[in-house]
Amino acid sequence: MKVLFFVPERYSLFHSFKEIFKVWEAEVYPIDFNATLKKWEIQFNVQVFRLPNKWRVRWETYFMDKINRYYRQVYDRRLPDLVFIYNNEMLLPETLEYFKRKSKIAFFLGDHPLYTSLNRYYLSLLNYADAIFAPDTFWVSQLKKMGLKNVHFFQAGIPSSHYYEKQLSEVSYQKLKSEILYVGMCYTDNWGYKKAKFLNYFSDHDLQIHGNRHWERWFSFFPNLEPHFRLKSQYYNTDYLNDLLNATKIVPVDGNPGLINGVHIRLYEALGSGALPLLEWQNDLDEIFPAHAELPAPKSYDEINEITRFYLQNEADRKEKVAWMKKIITEKYSPKNNAHQMFKALGYE
């Protein structure tokens, strides 16, 4: 089996799904539209939302046509059995119509098309799918209600080839160490306020926030966050992020915009590296772990301080909880089990 793999390599999901396709003994061919773009085109596209709609549409037509011509060229060269797509990757409906003549098409949704504006065609693209996998049960039920077929709740599991426990050198540990680590962007709207409010409950401890300048907007609301902030001026590769996670004890995990019941993938990265994810409660935790299990997942922000203090003061309990959560995930969402679920959904058995 040959798989044309529309998943950016910088995402940990890339490695999780590659492990799944290894179970199939598939030939995997990653494809990244950035390979066909000039630097100025990438930079301009980031700012194109500032243009009036008329000019934005003209730019998008040029930009997406160029990307999709490249996609067809690669497709014709590889002739895959399966086209596997993360989100939408700037695809056009006519491109998927072309692919579908000879290949099956599957999507994994990292963002919901109704809640995260990525591509004005995103929702219509899903009509071409032979199977859709989503990390949120609310998304699954909503997409089914809209008439989409073969939609499945799916967790990619721990990307253990890149997020794993390791012994850092003393020099590296002293440079990177923290009690609590948060790596992620903030927003200028109410999602940003919510994120800042969540992290403010950790600000009495040795907290590090690595993020973009949008965090600074909220320091007047939550001044205790400012001393903990470190401007993240470039992308952190998986090796560096794994080191950071190995040098901390607790990783706060909130829901990104659009997640209703689902859990952010940072849960799996943290567990892989041996850090305890302290999770904003989401209903799908009862799907991922045994129902009503005792999880470090406060249902009210008022509970955050007590839970955080307990695990910082009781290292043996913290390690035991990490090991317990990790064991459940590695067994339930192993590459073999995930491959079986995908294989069955796509009609390969």
Are 83 and 232 members of one domain? no
Contact 297, 281 (CB under 8 A): yes
Q: Determine, yes or no, domain membership for 165.
A: no
Distance CA 28, CA 21 (A): 7
pLDDT at 203: 98
Are 201 and 302 members of one domain? yes
pLDDT at 238: 94
Are 14 and 152 members of one domain? yes
Question: Is a pLDDT exceeding 90 seen at residue 183?
Answer: yes
Query: Which position has the higher pLDDT, 310 or 120?
Result: 310
The parent domain of residue 97 ranges over: 2-157+333-345
pLDDT digits (tens, 9 = 90+) for 195-244: 999 999 999 999 999 999 999 999 999 999 999 999 998 889 999 999 99
pLDDT digits (tens, 9 = 90+) for 136-172: 999 999 999 999 999 999 999 999 999 999 999 999 9
pLDDT at 115: 81
Q: What is the 3-state secondary structure (H, E, C) of the chain?
A: CEEEEECCCCCHHHHHHHHHHHHCCCEEEECCHHHHCCHHHHHHHHHHHHCCHHHHHHHHHHHHHHHHHHHHHHHHHHCCCEEEEECCCCCCHHHHHHHHCCCEEEEECCCCCCCCCCCCCHHHHHHHCCEEEECCHHHHHHHHHCCCCCEEECCCCCCCCCCCCCCCCHHHHHHHCCCEEEECCCCCCHHHHHHHHHHHCCCCCCEEEEECHHHHHHCCCCHHHHHHEEECCCCCCHHHHHHHHHCCCEEEECCCCCCCCCCCCHHHHHHHHCCEEEECCCCCHHHHCCCCCCCCCCCCHHHHHHHHHHHHHCHHHHHHHHHHHHHHHHHHCCHHHHHHHHHHHCCCC
Distance CA 110, CA 7 (A): 10
Contact 204, 228 (CB under 8 A): no
Q: Model-level pTM?
A: 0.93
Q: Determine, yes or no, domain membership for 45.
A: yes
Q: Determine, yes or no, domain membership for 164.
A: no
Residue 58: Cβ-neighbour burial (10 angstroms; 0-12, 13-18, 19+) = exposed
Are 184 and 293 members of one domain? yes
Are 325 and 338 members of one domain? no
Q: Determine, yes or no, domain membership for 162.
A: no
Are 209 and 99 members of one domain? no
Q: Determine, yes or no, domain membership for 249.
A: yes
Are 213 and 307 members of one domain? yes
Are 177 and 282 members of one domain? yes
Distance CA 339, CA 287 (A): 19
Q: Determine, yes or no, domain membership for 163.
A: no
Are 124 and 187 members of one domain? no
pLDDT at 53: 86
Provide the edge-to-edge strand list for the sheet that holds 2-6.
27-30, 2-6, 82-86, 104-108, 131-134, 151-153
Q: Determine, yes or no, domain membership for 21.
A: yes
Question: Is a pLDDT exceeding 80 seen at residue 336?
Answer: yes
Are 114 and 197 members of one domain? no
Are 39 and 152 members of one domain? yes
pLDDT at 54: 87
Q: What is the mean pLDDT of residues 339-349?
A: 94
pLDDT at 29: 97
Query: Which position has the higher pLDDT, 120 or 286?
Result: 286
Q: Determine, yes or no, domain membership for 217.
A: yes
pLDDT at 229: 98
Q: Number of folded domains in the chain?
A: 2
Q: What is the CATH number of the domain that holds 14?
A: 3.40.50.2000
Are 243 and 296 members of one domain? yes
